[in-house]
Amino acid sequence: MKQQWIHEGLSAPVNVTWEVTNQCNLSCIHCLSGSGRAKENELTFDQCLGLIDQLAEHKVFQVNFGGGEPFLRRDFLSILDACHQKGLVTCISTNGTLLEDDVLEFFKGRRMLYLQVSLDGGTATTNDPIRGSGTFNRIIRNIDRLSGRGIPFSINMVLTKLNFPEISSLYSLAKDFGAKLRISRFRPAGRGKNSWGSLRLEKQDLKAFSQWLSGHQDVVTGDSFFSLEDEERKGLGLNLCGAAKFTCCIDPEGGVYPCAFLQDSFF
């Protein structure tokens, strides 16, 4: 009798993006979630602990925390600690303005934690119109403190018409701090829907960016630009969309979506 093989796929996501709050102290004009105020029914601390138990039980490898600004949750360090106790690797996307001494002290010696700090230009002239007045200097100051304490992190930029001319200077800036540069694609979601027409790149800019990427193989993009990447980068596995296959998104109220960028599609 011919043997029949059945492919069942993964039993759980490899990594989960968890937007733990909609609160944010900034109003970035390209924000995918349109964050600002906390949503009415955001998960309580006890509910977060229950969710962490579920993620660990299903053997999720990594939790990518976002928002909003995660550090605006007063219990966020306790949430992180609960993840680490359950063996979950954590990555935090932060705007970099709230990395106070108690936060940096918490990071010390933790091997299951990584940071992505948002910065949208190599100068204040470019970054501040996107992220808010004075944010460039505040973020650079905290990046310097992270680097000085040996805490692993990357600098994350969302590629727009405003900061495209500064990708090389931002790449060099990241190198100076011992960090990787991570570049994400700008998407028409959240407040980004209102600024899509003025911030999205033209075709010729995308072609130029693709050529730039081919000479900077250490730049992280995930699947953001898989349609632009050359064969060498695709060989690294950077041409796959993992939505509902390798990853999913949990919103501040506990709703589950294929990925963070598809939340608007369900309303």
Domains for the chain: give ranges and CATH numbers: 15-258 (3.20.20.70)
**What sections of the chain are H helices per DSSP?**
45-57, 76-85, 101-107, 124-131, 135-148, 167-176, 192-199, 203-214, 231-234
187-220 pLDDT tens trace: 888 899 999 999 999 989 988 998 898 899 899 8
Contact 262, 246 (CB under 8 A): no
Tell me: the pLDDT tens digits for 25-55?
999 999 988 787 888 899 999 999 999 999 9
**HSE-up of 177 (CA within 13 Å, CB side)?**
26
State the maximum Cα–Cα separation within the chain, in Å, rounded to a whole number.
72
Nearest to 202 by CA among 160, 156, 261: 160
Q: What is the tens place of the pLDDT at every residue in 211-235?
A: 898 899 899 886 666 566 666 656 6
Among 178, 254, 209, CA closest to 18: 254
pLDDT, average across residues 237-261:
81
